[in-house]
Homo-oligomer: A and B are copies of this chain.
Amino acid sequence: MREWARAAAAPTTVTAVVNVGDDLWLSGLRVCPDLDSVMYALAGVNDAERGWGRAGERERVAGELAAYGTGWPWFTLGDLDLGTHIARTGWLHEGLPLSEATRRLAARWDLGVELLPASDDPVETHVVTDAGELHFEEWWTRHRGTVPARRFVQHGVELARPGPGVLAAIAETDLVLLAPSNPVVSIGTILGIDGIREAVRATAAPVVGVSPIIGGAVVRGMADACLEAIGVETSARAVGAWYGARSSAGLLDGWLVGEEDAEAVPALEAAGLRAASVPLWMRDPSTTARMVEAAVALARRD
């Protein structure tokens, strides 16, 4: 409780720049897995047990699709979740950009965080395998990442511009936090959009990353398979080194690793990064709050 009270006493605004590379069209509906996951989680309506979608979900619509012999058995959309996709798709068809559709969706909930799509332009992460290219969500959700990934392609990324407010948010913030998200296909996609990496490099604010690898294990998802494809070891130290220190053309001022990775701290420090090890498994809100406090402390450390 103390942590939350303290946070409430210091009014802050938080802007989340969210990956759009996993977005996909399903039967004419625009599905944005990352934006929706963040929105549902912040709204407190996510299905924490299952790890995706809405709590209290039913699948009557998906049942109809199955009865018609169609649908996406590997990517079942619940009824409540479909409401989000249909609302968004309607706004996109009216000509609104994704950022405005996202703002309208978020307006329903009390998120406490502003959600900005990394881009209003379509960027689609594909996985190149020996059997051909797959949309990232198909590779991840359908094949559980078991088909070896040769490399990742972000279609459209070279044409994509940062979404409205993204560069300003990075330039004007007091602290940039790189979430413990997939460094290759989530954060990597965001950083690949024209100007975003440069904005992170140029901001006056300290940049602190939180390792998505804890004791050699991924927090969630297929970061290990993704890292393997780009030739980076699945370790907190290797990922920190891959992002690199701002002082040597990298992105980070600080790198927070798990308590399991305490032994990596000296090497990271030697490479020009402020590093610290703390509990990174976000078991409950107070652990998460302490993790964020540690990141802030690392940012403030001289």
Contact = CB atoms under 8 A, between A and B. Distances in A.
Interface of A is mostly: helix
Contacts of A107: 69
Contacts of A29: 27-29, 86, 89
A50 interface: no
Given A60-B58, A79-B61, A68 B87 contact: yes
A195 interface: no
Tell me how many chains of this kind the complex includes. Answer: 2
A92 B93 CA distance: 17
A65 B86 contact: yes
Given A28-B29, A93-B27, A87 B64 contact: yes
Interface residues of A, number: 34
A65 B105 CA distance: 10
15 contacts: A25-B93, A26-B90, A58-B60, A62-B83, A64-B82, A64-B83, A65-B83, A65-B90, A67-B108, A68-B84, A68-B87, A70-B90, A70-B91, A70-B104, A71-B86
Interface of A: 25-30, 58, 60-65, 67-71, 79-80, 82-84, 86-87, 89-93, 104-105, 107-108
